[in-house]
Structure 1
């Protein structure tokens, strides 16, 4: 089962593939390491297969710096931004490669035009570009309304040509609606968690995004790699064994404590594999990704890749040739209905609540 034709969508002035390469696993040795030369070779392989959009991730920490760019800062996410910038700069047509990064405010701080512009220019310097393709904004506390000021400042920098497109990161339904109504036409996206396990986006955010014409960029869609064939029939892993990477520890806790149980998750994996087998041998990951992409307002799924270590660019392409039927979706829903997934909006909160 192969398909080289990529689905695309519009994001501001850009036409982009619906699968992006997530770079957050370059942040720490905990995900596995590879020499920079191998990472660049892996990026080259991805581009050759049509993966022309690269992005960081939304996992945030209250213990990090007050203001920084997500996934790409040397003190938290390693040299991902620099590596990407050097890679893109080395290409004959660097403009054909899209790069998304972030600007995050985690603690009370004095917001000024100077500090916001300095942060944007730092992104430009590290990515070796004359403008940031997509700058995604995360704000620590909605009780402080200064996020409105930041959006105004970013809009000014966009008008000056320093930013091509402005997005949000982990904004919930209420505040996405507020910002998009207040700044019509300025916001193009919101990066949020969304998977067959984490369906909180279906409790209003998809509808609000559709109303305002913005796209949702999803992470956690494969639950740190747990939504994969290799986990079928496996016993529940020990989170303290040292065998799991940071993403897997996070999503294991989510699956067995918030969503349901490892036994129910096994049932979900078996259903997803059965659907894949009926659809020409698609993988569990393919089916889980397709399920997300088929929802309204979804622009792209960000697939975390351990570049130079573990990557599945060919298998992921099968998503584009996969069509789920109403019967397929009904089988998935039957399992989900027996989980606590629909209650996550109450137990955890809306998208991004776990990071505030």
Structure 2
């Protein structure tokens, strides 16, 4: 397994992480998946307090209790869910963040979080207050570093300018190249890393893509464009699998610290690791991909 440093921190994470949202709520199954991930060299686990209304953090915490020192734990905050588990509301206030971190620490069964991320955000938020909360948590030792999870250019720019974030989690894949148009260069220039979520585009960038395709297409690609594009990609693969192309495409960018496909089985973890450890893409391969898939730009939140 190869490892990369997140931003200007001392967090050295595996190029392939484990997105924990798909683990489910059965602790023994989740522990088996996480144990296999760690055995394969994955050390970066990403969860959130919102997933399964906190149960996901409990599941992850139970699974890593005996191996905490081997794991970089990332979780998220900002979506306040009610105790009846009927919904949630957005709350990036300092008071809520400082309360929520204690709840996450308890559920995770740990006394520190390696990477604490704001789980969304808008330009109308009290951004200075939110940053103040994260900075205080760092000083108090509850978190080691913080970042944001966002695809809003205006929000990302504010945090890059005002805070000491080390990462921005964002959707990024062959089918969603929007970060390349303006965000990745900005982050790279400021020593902030990308954590790439959705690298397999909901299964569309795997060999089972025909089972995943819908009549609605994907983002700016119509169903017809999507089908034609993936078929063209497959013809250009040579001996590679589509999943290899997808994960290695994200890792081609040096600003990307890790890609975090989800997994709900040990087999999926093994497939992800095998794909991520394949040979890096060449410049020629990347240029070929860009000729097949037309890029788009973020249309909102400028």
SS in structure 2 opposite 1:54?
A: strand
1:174 and 2:148 correspond: no
- 1:275-324 per-residue CA deviation (whole Å, 9 max, x = no partner) reads 443xxx3310110111111124211111111136x514245333233222
Residue in structure 2 matched with residue 163 of structure 1 by the alignment:
143
Residues 172 and 205, structure 1, Cα contact 8 Å, conserved in 2: no
Cα 1:128/1:284, change in 2 over 3 Å: same
Alignment of 1:183-222 (within 5 A): 183=163, 186-222=164-200
Give distance in 1, aligned partners of 2:212 and 2:101. 43
Structure 2: 5+ residue stretches without partners: 81-88
SS in structure 2 opposite 1:345?
A: coil
SS in structure 2 opposite 1:175?
A: helix
Give distance in 2, aligned partners of 1:191 and 1:102. 11
1:9 and 2:8 correspond: no
Moved over 6 A (4+): none
In the superposition, the TM-score normalised over structure 1's length comes to 0.74
**1:318 counterpart (275, 283, 286):** 275
- 1:168-198 per-residue CA deviation (whole Å, 9 max, x = no partner) reads 1115333322222222xx2110111111111
Shift of 1:267: 3.3
Residues 272 and 288, structure 1, Cα contact 8 Å, conserved in 2: no
- 1:210-261 per-residue CA deviation (whole Å, 9 max, x = no partner) reads 1211111111110111111123xx4885x5xxxxxxxxxxxx7451xx3223
SS in structure 1 opposite 2:258?
A: strand
**1:265 counterpart (198, 209, 226):** 226
Cα 1:224/1:95, change in 2 over 3 Å: same
Residue in structure 1 matched with residue 78 of structure 2 by the alignment:
104
Residue in structure 1 matched with residue 242 of structure 2 by the alignment:
284
Counting matched residue pairs gives 293
Cα 1:110/1:163, change in 2 over 3 Å: closer
Give distance in 2, aligned partners of 1:70 and 1:206. 27
Shift of 1:334: 1.7
1:55 and 2:46 correspond: yes
Structure 1: 5+ residue stretches without partners: 28-32, 58-68, 240-251
Shift of 1:47: 0.9
Give distance in 1, aligned partners of 2:112 and 2:62. 15
1:19 and 2:10 correspond: no
**2:34 counterpart (36, 43, 66):** 43
RMSD (CA atoms) = 2.6
**2:64 counterpart (88, 91, 95):** 88
Give distance in 2, aligned partners of 1:273 and 1:127. 41
**1:135 counterpart (91, 116, 126):** 116
1:152 and 2:132 correspond: yes
Give distance in 1, aligned partners of 2:162 and 2:265. 39
Cα 1:295/1:226, change in 2 over 3 Å: same
Residues 134 and 163, structure 1, Cα contact 8 Å, conserved in 2: yes
Give distance in 2, aligned partners of 1:318 and 1:110. 37
Shift of 1:46: 1.1
In the superposition, the TM-score normalised over structure 2's length comes to 0.87
Give distance in 1, aligned partners of 2:47 and 2:283. 33
Give distance in 1, aligned partners of 2:91 and 2:275. 45
Shift of 1:56: 2.6
